[in-house]
Amino acid sequence: MAMTSVADTRLLLTLQFPPDDADKTNIQALVQKELVHGIILPSIVLSEFFKIAGPRIGIQATARIINVLKDRGMKVKSIDEEHAIETGKLLIRHTNVPFADALIASFVSLKIAEYVLTDDPHFNILGTRTKWFS
């Protein structure tokens, strides 16, 4: 299965803590549609999700959520040397972008994924294609 998208932490947070019922329905539909083609889950996203969700719902519940997403087809990918170098290049050109966002964008820069599943404006600054629900 070819991976075509990469998850930003906002995807997981919106999926777990949707602001309203309409967003809940929309984010679930987006994830279901994207899982057909595969979603990359960068290891840094796991760290960010644990940092934010863990205090709210507990470490065990957060781990269960990640395991369910993996069971549904998300593939956790670690950061390797190629990603580290590409991330550094992105950060040289865009000094005000958070490190994690540049690292997530590196999957698109390296053509491992086509776009990032997010509405975070930092990815626009990076020139990274994104997709979100309307």
Q: Is 1 exposed, middle or buried (0-12, 13-18, 19+ CB in 10 A)?
A: exposed
Tell me the percentage of the chain whose pLDDT exceeds 70: 98
pTM for the model stands at 0.93
Across the range 8-32, mean pLDDT stands at: 97
pLDDT at 134 over 80: no
Domain chopping of the chain, boundaries: 5-131
Is 50 exceeded by the pLDDT of residue 24?
A: yes
3 pLDDT exceeds 70?
no
pLDDT band at 1 (very low <50, low <70, confident <90, very high): very low
| DSSP structure string for 99-118 | HHHHHHHHHHHTTS-SEEE-
The tokens describing 51, both together, are 């940092």
CA–CA distance from 55 to each of 14, 19, 59, 83 (Å)? Answer: 16, 18, 7, 29
State the CATH architecture for 5-131.
Answer: 3-Layer(aba) Sandwich (3.40)
Yes or no: say if 41 and 77 are a contact pair by the CB < 8 Å rule.
Answer: yes
Q: pLDDT digits over 63-94, tens only?
A: 999 999 999 999 999 999 999 999 999 999 99
pLDDT above 90 (res 132): yes
